[in-house]
Structure 1
Amino acid sequence: MGEPPGRTERREAGGTAAAAEEYRWTQLPPELLPLVYKKLPDSADFVRFRTVCRAWRDAAPVSDPPPQLPWVVERRGSAFQARAHFRFYSPSSGRTYSVRGYGGRSWLVVGGACQEHLVTTVDLSTTALYNPLTGDRLALPPAPYPQWRHGVVHVVADAGRWLVVNTSTKTRHFGYCRPGDTKWSLVDGRHDMRHRAYHGGRFYVNTNAQETLVIDASTGAVDSVLPPPPRSAGGGGVSCSDYLVESRGKLIRAVLFPRDGVVAASAEDYYVNVYQLEEGQGGKAAAWAKVESVGDRVLFFDKHGHGFSLEPNDAAELRRDCVYFMHEKRTWLDAGEYRFLCRYSMEDGEVDRVVSLPDTFGDTWVVPGLCPSE
């Protein structure tokens, strides 16, 4: 049966108009496209930008996403709670995203070559390194010990490759593995080990006494013990948090203190001392040296003492020479909590609340990435 008169003409006219509209978008000067997508608030908008047409997709490689604040991950439930989806909150756009997960549980993985990944488990022993934005997945060796379900897992850089570190929150010892390993290397050590970082083939582990253990990653032996860092004048208070991070080939330690030396009632009541590891030369032992600036870098830390170093950018409010940390406080009046992403300026010592975070989100972060693992 033939089509009614005029239907074919209207359909062709509509198709011609759509084609003409798409043609106009593809004719934008290529040099303008990066100026546009670099202003987008987060990775989700960047993905939509790349679907407009082939010219826009070619001008916006996945390796060059717009600058943004790291996303905060929904706080996990119990050790055996199944999780079909991961939920993320983007401070830059104020949006919440739900991404289909893999396995029953997840831990955030930050830092190094795989800072956009999670470690997930199918059961209490089968694990994988998983990128929730691309679905890319890499198998890991079976869990190193029963305390795995109580562990805190993160990834660090190792000569351009990833290295997964799992810490037992019960016994304080940790295990680590590299690509191709069939089992975890375990570091039993002392039971007062806290935050750690990987640098130059060694683990640097802070203790409860604020000393730093230097552990050879190939043998697990303690090579040396660094004394606590020197405190600035008037900084005799008890530290609230002690962070370690590698930044441009340097090992940095940031210690958060309450200004009155006792307790901080608000985020503005904190100050940060930053130290850099000075390697021993001429017979001198390695030691922490206080620095007044981190230069053209941004230090970003989560609630577990893990951190990463980012480049500053105006679009994401990441200012140079600043330390970003999370502050939370429980209010007994309404039995709730509030938390903020805070920014400490090394230049003037001031603390700003950058953004308020949703109540169900907090303590760990992810830098969104669309590139698959190598």
Structure 2
Amino acid sequence: SVHSHSGTPTAARVSDGRRRRGWERLRQRRRGAWPGALEETTQDLQMSFAKKLQTHRPQSWSALPSDLAGLVLRRLPSHADHVRFADVCHHWRFSRQEHCLPPPLPWLAFPDGTFFGLPCREGAKESFKLHSSANYCISCGDWLAFAQNGTCFLMDPFSEITLTLPNLSSFCLVDEPVGIINGRDVLDEDMSGSLLQMDTAISLRKVIRCSELVVAAIVEIGPLRTVAYCQPGSTSWLVSELGSIGSVIDMMFYEGMLYVIDEFNDLLAINVREDNDNGKLRVSWIERLLDGAPCVLKLIQGGISYFESYLVESHGALLLVQRTIFGECDNNTIGGIKPVGIEFEVCQPDFQSRSWVKVSSVG
């Protein structure tokens, strides 16, 4: 073998040098001190990614198939999530309208446009605010009713679709067979007519959109509380004389029919439709289905009780809810009455016996 002057073999020195340079290069690469190699690796990755994009270009989220959108919607627990889903794009909004989802739980709507949902997802409370919903006067299903300086309109706070209603100072009697409701005559036949001649405006108590052509409302005109109808975009409210028989307390549009309860808790069914001849609304028939539910007077010592009745729908059934609020006289409370208790009773209709039947469960 060939030796150097120092006596160390030349081949061994060369091998050791290569090994040291290899370790140094590896340490530099780990420290990021080899920019050329890093640059080369990055360029390779970018080129590879670009090729994949060219061969497998991803679709837009707006192209999410409707059946998959339905699966997503059914897993969203609250109505607020459904609203947010529909706000993403037109395609997702159409998907939400296309799928039949379970009805949402009611929301509490406050005058400033704030909505509070009932607790869900392990007690979590949800809320959101729609500034366009502030200062409404009544909520009615998916709609909010606005009444300002006599003008009146309905608005869907989510889609902001608006329906113009007649001015509150413009009204007349509706064409209806009031005098033949199950053979029961109208009391004080001229009462409604005289009130309608008064220089006054009606005030809204409740509004329901029955269909695209019919909006019904409980209105007050002086001492008369009755039902009025209109068509969106029309110029006048059509007032019923039902309030002359007994003040209308509540109403509900149920299975294609308008149901009303009066102060005696009598249940009446009303069929309102558009006249084929002139296109105006008319009441084709009114039928009294049930006699009033018996009200048991409940008193507390040194206090008073206040009753209210409501029509509600639960699991497809029409129910009457009677609420009793108990109060005590208290001069330190606004109104002089301090609420101390509340009770609810629920009745369902028995059409064979023409009476309300109390129930202890709604399923």
What is the TM-score with the length of structure 1 in the denominator?
A: 0.51
Match of 1:164 in 2: 216
| Shift, 1:66, TM fit | 6.1
Cα deviation, 1:213-245, whole Å, max 9, x if unaligned, reads: 7778646998769542247xxx66377331124
- Would the alpha carbon gap of residues 40 and 10 (structure 1) be closer, same or farther in structure 2, given more than 3 Å must change? same
Give the Cα–Cα distance (whole angstroms) in 2 for the partners of residues 55 and 215 of structure 1: 39
State whether residues 40 and 66 of structure 1, in contact with CA within 8 Å, keep that contact through their aligned partners in structure 2. no
Contact 1:187 1:220 in 2 (8 A): no
What SS does the corresponding residue of 2:108 show, helix, strand or coil?
strand
Structure-to-structure mapping, 1:175-186, within 5 angstroms: 175-179=228-232, 181-186=234-239
Contact 1:204 1:213 (8 Å CA) reproduced: yes
Residue 39 to residue 221, structure 1, CA distance change in 2 (3 Å)? closer
1:68 equivalent in alignment to 2:141: no
2:346 aligned with 1:273, yes or no?
yes
Aligned 1:21-32 pairs, distance under 5 A: none
Looking at structure 2, the residues matched to 194 and 147 of structure 1 have their Cα atoms a distance apart, in angstroms, of 18
- Distance, in Å, in 2 between the alignment partners of 1:62 and 1:35 is 12
Partner of residue 308, structure 1: none
Shift of 1:87: 2.1
For 1:24 and 1:288, locate their aligned partners in 2 and report how far apart those are by CA, in whole Å.
58
1:256 aligns with 2:323: yes
For residue 138 of structure 1, what is the amino acid of its counterpart? L
Give the aligned partner of residue 155 of structure 2. 130
Q: Which residue of 1 aligns with 2:143?
A: 117
Report the CA distance between 1:204 and its aligned residue: 2.6
- Deviation of 1:135 after TM superposition, in Å, equals 1.2
Aligned residue in 2 for 1:229: 293
Q: Which consecutive residues of structure 2, in runs of 5 or more, have no partner in the other structure?
A: 1-38, 171-199, 273-281, 299-304, 327-337
Distance in 2, matches of 1:33 and 1:257, equals: 45
* Aligned counterpart in structure 1 of residue 206 of structure 2, from 127, 136, 153: 153
Match of residue 89, structure 1, among 116, 122, 131: 116
Q: Is the 8 A contact 1:162 1:179 kept in 2?
A: yes
Deviation of the 1:170 alpha carbon: 5.5
| Cα deviation 1:146-187 (Å, max 9, x = unaligned) | 444x422310535x7542314228632442213464311113
Q: Give the Cα separation in 1 of the matches to 2:63 and 2:165.
A: 46
CA distance in 2, matches of 1:53, 1:179: 28
8 Å CA contact retained: 1:129, 1:139: yes
The runs of 5 or more residues in structure 1 that have no matched partner are: 77-84, 280-285, 294-344, 348-374
Q: Structure 1: how far apart are the matches of 2:233 and 2:93?
A: 34
SS at match of 1:240: strand
1:101 maps to which of 132, 148, 165 = 132
Which amino acid in 1 is paired with 2:247? M
Residues 287, 156 of structure 1: alpha-carbon distance in 2 compared, 3 angstrom cutoff? farther
Whether 2:195 is the aligned partner of 1:142: answer no
Match of 2:80 in 1: 44
Q: Match of 1:206?
A: 262
Letter in 2 for 1:177: C
Pick from 321, 342, 346 the counterpart of residue 362 of structure 2: 346
Residues 289-328 of structure 1: pairs in structure 2 closer than 5 A: 289-290=356-357, 292=359
Q: Which structure ranks higher in relative contact order (CA pairs < 8 Å, sequence separation ≥ 6)?
A: 1
Letter in 1 for 2:220: S
Give the distance between the partners of 2:208 and 2:139, measured in 1 at CA. Answer: 5
Contact residue 251 and residue 277 of structure 1 kept, 8 A:
no
Q: Please identify the structure whose Cα radius of gyration is greater.
A: 2
- Is the partner of 1:244 in helix, strand or coil? strand
Q: 1:346 is aligned with what amino acid? A: V
**Structure 1 residues 230, 64: closer, same or farther in 2, change over 3 A?**
same
- For 1:34 and 1:88, how far apart are their aligned partners in 2? 25
Identity %: 20
Deviation, 1:72, is: 1.0
1-structure distance, mates of 2:115, 2:100:
21
Contact 1:213 1:224 in 2 (8 A): yes
Q: Is the 8 A contact 1:42 1:68 kept in 2?
A: yes
Asked if structure 2 preserves the Cα contact closer than 8 Å seen for 1:275 and 1:289, the reply is yes
Structure 2 match to 1:367: none
Shift of 1:274: 0.9
Cα pair distance change 1:239/1:212, threshold 3 Å: farther
State yes or no: 1:244 paired with 2:311: yes
Q: What RMSD over aligned residues (CA atoms) do the two structures have, in Å?
A: 5.0
Cα distance, 1:210 vs. partner? 4.1
Question: Given residue 116 of structure 1, which amino acid in structure 2 is its aligned partner?
Answer: D
The correspondence for 2:247, drawn from 193, 210, 232, is 193
Task: Select the structure that is richer in helix.
Answer: 2
